[in-house]
Amino acid sequence: MKKWKRSSRLVHMTQELMQNPHRLLTLSSFAERYQAAKSSISEDLAIIQEVCQEEGLGELETVSGAAGGARFLPGVDPATARDQIDQLCGRLADPARILPGGYLYLSDLLGDSALVRDLGRIFASVFARSGADAVVTVETKGIPLAYAAAAHLGVPVAIVRKHNRITEGSVVTINTVSGSSKRLGSLSLSRRSLQEGARVLIIDDFMKAGGTIRGMIHLLHEFHADVVGVGVMTDSLVEERLVEDYISLTTVAEVDVKEKKIRVVPGNFNMEQQGGILHGKDSDR
Amino acid sequence: MKKWKRSSRLVHMTQELMQNPHRLLTLSSFAERYQAAKSSISEDLAIIQEVCQEEGLGELETVSGAAGGARFLPGVDPATARDQIDQLCGRLADPARILPGGYLYLSDLLGDSALVRDLGRIFASVFARSGADAVVTVETKGIPLAYAAAAHLGVPVAIVRKHNRITEGSVVTINTVSGSSKRLGSLSLSRRSLQEGARVLIIDDFMKAGGTIRGMIHLLHEFHADVVGVGVMTDSLVEERLVEDYISLTTVAEVDVKEKKIRVVPGNFNMEQQGGILHGKDSDR
């Protein structure tokens, strides 16, 4: 087995930690893999930790003791997050997005895999300490954001369906009333897609009154799940909100169909940072 | 501006290269960022390149000249890919997946964000040299795989819809006939979600006869798109295949509903490796 130089170890360890977010990689496994003393591995981890902290990449959490090691929690520094959100506001405010009925075209943004990854990382940073062990979203447009957040949190995704499908096996279904348009609908979640008692982070692209998200929360009660957070890319100003406790990255403040103008501002997301991890509004719940 | 040590530079450069797959990061930008000579940066890149190659993480392609730099093409070494595919075969063969009508429950696999990321990386490795500038999939189950591949290729995703939605704006729609069940359907793609003349990689979760993928290829013709590859997680054995030129990671060889048995084998994907990048069956097209 080859003996690794520190420089090569640093490259490979950085890669391993980033590829396995929120998972504890042990000193022993590193020491064996690189044929190096645990003390050398600890020094390597200290270098990686320093870079993560100084550059706002997230936190490298070290665990001491016999089974000790390190776990990487991806984060974003507040300046970068603000910059990404400002850019998103600019892109959302493009009047060409206005569709008949005042709907907004968002598919280009949700198709931009680099943007989606960055937003997923912001969500993962905000909810890094939420203890979420699954991300739940509703088909279709929220799916990429949910996966991006889940990939950075190292947890699985379950997708709530608006149309029950045979390929979902046994499902739990609830009926819903949309908060803004009062339309009836249903939401289904496959029994097997979420463990009973899971701690769930809900991620979606867009929220108006919040009827769909309230429906998802009710549906998740059927799984005895604990909703530890709700994050949306964009919300819009409404008179009555059915969900109060959530984080939005941006807010569509006004859509003037006649004048072809959209006003978009940063969401209710007040960034603070502790130990390389962003904190949103309700991060301490 | 702080001067970086080599060890810190290596950690940060690894992270930057991994976060920006298939994008050229220039020597000049690295030299400025780290306040280091270009010759030092070149040495750093050589170290990263060596680790990527020896560990089968992909290829670090270096570009020389005044505007030179490096670009990371994520890859997988054949042994790891084979291992991941064998594990997937094992999970697919679980008889508890059999649903009424012989359908298979796949949502748990497609909800496993780590598995999805690994499969996306295999697709990205196989199609690293395809020149794809977009990934296209069809709603709903293929979406996570498409994003995982796209994220590793550094390209956007466009989602073909089975139900036309108002939030898609102006769309192109074609009518289809499913290859296996002869059902009529339609496929729509938003005009704005794909550039005319794009080079497209099609990714989906499951393929039987291939009617949906053939439909997508026809739809993409309307965008004057060039389909540079087709990849599916699983195909099944059928008498007549409507799409010939594709890569499958696994093949469901037999589903015996009565005996509750599923037989799954590795797909038509014959791995070779050149320069840290896997090559599938038709990678040279």
Which residue would you say has higher pLDDT here, B242 or B284?
B242
Residue of A nearest to B115 (CA): A156
pLDDT in tens, A116-171: 999 999 999 999 999 999 999 999 899 999 999 999 999 999 999 988 777 888 89
Amino acid identity for residue B56 in this structure: G
Are both A66 and A189 inside the same structural domain? no
Element (H, E) at A235: strand A226-236
Query: Does A10 contact B14 at a Cβ distance shorter than 8 Å?
Result: yes
- Tokens 């022993």 belong to A28
- Point out the least confidently predicted range of A30-34, A88-92, A97-101, B217-221: A97-101
Q: Is the pLDDT of residue A70 over 50?
A: yes
Confidence (pLDDT) at A285? 36
In a domain, B223, yes or no: yes
My answer on whether A197 and A166 are in the same domain is yes
**CA-CA-CA-CA dihedral for B21, B24, B28, B34, to nearest 10:** 0
Give the mean pLDDT of B227-244: 94
Residue A49 belongs to domain with CATH number: 1.10.10.10
pLDDT tens per residue across span A55-66: 999 999 999 888
Q: Could you tell me if residue A265 is inside a domain? A: yes
Query: Which pLDDT does position B101 carry in this prediction?
Result: 83
CATH code, domain carrying B194: 3.40.50.2020
Answer whether residue A90 shows pLDDT above 60.
yes
Q: Which of B9-23, B173-187, B257-271 has the lowest mean pLDDT?
A: B173-187
Q: Do B140 and A143 touch (CB under 8 A)?
A: yes
Which is more confidently placed, A98 or B102? A98
Domain that holds residue A10: 6-74
Domain assignment present for residue A285? The answer is no
Residue B285 falls within a domain, yes or no?
no
Residues A125 and A238 in one domain: yes
Q: Residue A275 above 70 pLDDT?
A: no
Element at B16 (helix H, strand E): helix B6-19
Predicted confidence band at B284 (pLDDT cuts at 50, 70, 90)? very low
Q: Which has the closest alpha carbon to B171: B180, B160, B179?
A: B160
On the question of pLDDT at B93 being above 70, the answer is: yes
The whole-angstrom separation of Cα A226 and Cα B163 is 33
Domain contains B113 = yes
Whether residues B45 and B83 share a domain: the answer is no
Find the residue in B nearest to A162 (Cα): B140
Q: Report which DSSP code applies to A2.
A: P
Q: Does residue B284 belong to any structural domain of this protein?
A: no
Q: Which residue of A has its CA nearest to B103?
A: A167
Contacting residues of A for B45, CB less than 8 Å apart: none
* Dist. CA A89–CA A81, nearest whole Å: 12
**What does the mean pLDDT of chain A come to?**
92
Question: ipTM score here?
Answer: 0.92
pLDDT at B164 over 80: no
Asked if residues B137 and B202 have their Cβ atoms less than 8 Å apart, the reply is yes
Chain A CA closest to residue B194: A108
Instruction: Over range A265-270, report the average pLDDT.
Output: 89
Please identify, among A74, A100, A126, the residue that sits at the C-terminal boundary of a domain: A74
Judgement on whether residues A175 and A107 belong to the same structural domain of the protein: yes
Going from the C-alpha of A157 to that of each of A109, A249, B115, B125, B137, the distances in angstroms are 21, 20, 11, 24, 19
How far is residue B249 CA from its own chain's centroid?
11
Mean predicted lDDT score pLDDT of chain B: 92
Pair (B156, B195) in one structural domain: yes
- The answer on A264 and A153 residing in a single domain is yes
Domain for residue A69, yes or no? Answer: yes
A50: left (phi over 0), alpha (psi -120 to 50) or beta: alpha
B72 contacts in chain A (CB < 8 Å): none
Of B74, B95, B119, which residue sits at a domain end? B74
Q: Each residue of B12-45: pLDDT tens digit? A: 999 999 999 999 999 999 999 999 999 999 999 9
Average pLDDT over residues B146-159: 97
Instruction: Convert the pLDDT of each residue in B263-275 to its tens digit.
Output: 999 999 877 766 5
**A-B contacts at Cβ under 8 angstroms:** 150
Please judge whether A159 and B107 are an interchain contact, meaning their C-beta atoms are less than 8 angstroms apart. yes
Are B198 and B253 members of one domain? yes
Residue B212 has pLDDT above 80, yes or no: yes
pLDDT single digits (tens) A201-229: 999 999 999 999 999 999 999 999 999 99
Q: Does B217 lie in the same domain as B180?
A: yes
First to last CA, chain A: 48
CA distance B234 to chain A (A): 15
Q: Is residue A100 located within the same domain as residue A164?
A: yes
- Which tokens is B193 given? 């979600």
Distance of residue B67 Cα from the nearest chain A Cα, in angstroms? 23
Closest Cβ–Cβ partner in B7, B100, B139 for A6: B7
A123 and A68 belong to one structural domain: no
Of B25, B47, B74, the last residue of a domain is B74
> What pLDDT, on the 0 to 100 scale, is given for residue B20?
96
> Cα separations (Å) of B242 from A89, B16, B142, B217?
44, 42, 19, 11
What domain count does chain A have? 2
Domain shared by A57 and A92, yes or no: no
Give a yes or no: residue B222 inside a domain.
Answer: yes
Do the chains contact at B11 and A7, CB–CB below 8 Å? no
**pLDDT confidence tier of residue B276, bands split at 50, 70 and 90:** low
